[in-house]
């Protein structure tokens, strides 16, 4: 065995990258669940939309130097508008019904969005070019890494700070947290809970879209990328605790690192480690590392 310990460092950085993308995804899932008590199965579809929109925008703006940066701003906004429409026209109609119906609705959206992406962009693999300014390499501790890695990590941390600030330091954040605890009471106090839900859903889909744009230059876009990411995001929230943003961050860091290390052991089936961890968490700490105990509900 000629095992080079410094490969662990390389994997650590790439695991951190993965963790940040997963955090962007899982934080959206967890925000929606925490406030609205809905699992958004279609969250991956919004991620996929973000990535494909980034493709179209960078293509359309190919002659501009800042095409990617415009996509980074614009694509998540478009995705969140679509998310807002989904909340307003579909989800809103069934809040007073069983949670099962809400799950089914978001599940149905995966089918719909998949075929819409197929209609617009076709089945070919698509590639988003990396912006010039981020396509170099930097040496860190004797290894060279793509600059883009650090862009991803930086964006993840930035968004984490942003979410923390929003939830803890703004009036909207207080309202969100209050709605998560006592939805009816917030309504009785004269706030428009439905509008809070729309805002949360738009925020979450914005996060999903952003994750899609950020990942786009590093992968080949394909139908099915929504399911790949959503499963990992599910594992993140199971490990971290559903409905808890800090849990999503912790879960993402653990899952990201576990994957990066797992790949060294069994390259093809690193996913198996993630599932094993989730299984252990389910057995010994069902509500996740930072989650509150799960209440009933059948």
Partner 1 sequence: MSRASAVKGGWVVGAAIVLAALPFVLEKGLSPYYLYLAIKINVWALFAVSFNLVLGYAGMMSFGHAAFYGAGAYTCALILAKTSCPMPLAFVAAPVLAACVGLIIGYFSVKIKGIFYFAVLTLSFAQLLYIVVYKWRSFTHGDDGIQGIPVPSWISTDVTFVSYYFFTLIISLVCVYILWRIVESPFGLMLRTLRENPQRSTFIGMNVQRYRLVAFVISAFFSGVAGALFALLETSVSPDLLFWSNSGEVILMGLLGGMHIFLGPALGAAIMVLLNSFITLYTGYWQFFLGITLISIVLFFPEGVAGLIHERYAARRGKRAA
- Closer residue to partner 1, CB minimum distance, 161 or 272: 272
- Closer residue to partner 1, CB minimum distance, 113 or 149: 113
How far apart are CB 94 and partner 1 at their closest, in Å? 7
- Closer residue to partner 1, CB minimum distance, 57 or 91: 91
**Residues within the interface to partner 1 (CB under 8 A):** 33, 39, 41, 90, 93-94, 97-101, 103-105, 107-116, 118-119, 227, 231, 234-235, 238, 242, 268-269, 271-272, 275, 278-279, 282-283, 286-287, 294-298
How far apart are CB 38 and partner 1 at their closest, in Å? 9
- Closer residue to partner 1, CB minimum distance, 16 or 278: 278
CA proximity to 181, closest of 12, 20, 36, 15: 36
How far apart are CB 220 and partner 1 at their closest, in Å? 16
How far apart are CB 283 and partner 1 at their closest, in Å? 7
How far apart are CB 61 and partner 1 at their closest, in Å? 29
- Closer residue to partner 1, CB minimum distance, 139 or 297: 297
């Amino acid at each position: 065995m000629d095992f080079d310990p410094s490969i662990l460092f390389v994997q650590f950085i790439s695991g951190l990258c993965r963790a940040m993308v997963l955090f962007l995804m899982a934080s959206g899932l967890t925000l929606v669940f925490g406030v609205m008590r809905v699992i958004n199965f279609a969250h991956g579809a919004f991620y996929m939309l973000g990535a494909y929109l980034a493709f179209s925008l960078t293509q359309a703006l190919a002659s501009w130097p800042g095409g990617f940066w415009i996509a980074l701003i614009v694509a998540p906004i478009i995705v969140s508008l679509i998310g807002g429409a989904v909340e307003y026209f579909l989800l809103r109609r069934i809040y007073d019904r069983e949670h099962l119906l809400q799950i089914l609705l978001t599940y149905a959206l995966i089918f719909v969005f998949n075929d819409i992406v197929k209609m617009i962009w076709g089945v070919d693999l698509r590639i988003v070019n990396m912006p010039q300014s981020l396509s170099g390499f930097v040496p860190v501790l004797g290894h060279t890494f793509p600059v883009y890695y650090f862009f991803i990590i930086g964006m993840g941390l930035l968004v984490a700070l942003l979410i923390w600030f929003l939830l803890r330091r703004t009036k909207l954040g207080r309202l969100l947290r209050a709605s998560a605890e006592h939805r009816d009471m917030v309504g009785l106090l004269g706030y428009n809970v439905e509008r809070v839900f729309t805002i949360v859903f738009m925020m979450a889909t914005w996060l999903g879209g952003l994750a899609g744009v950020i990942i786009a230059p590093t992968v080949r876009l394909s139908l099915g990328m929504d399911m790949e990411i959503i499963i990992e995001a599910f594992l993140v929230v199971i490990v971290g605790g559903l409905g808890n943003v800090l849990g999503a961050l912790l879960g993402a860091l653990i899952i990201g690192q576990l994957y990066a290390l797992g790949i060294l052991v069994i390259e093809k089936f690193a996913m198996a480690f993630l599932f094993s961890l989730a299984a252990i968490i389910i057995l010994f700490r069902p509500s996740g590392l930072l989650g509150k105990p799960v209440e009933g509900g059948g």
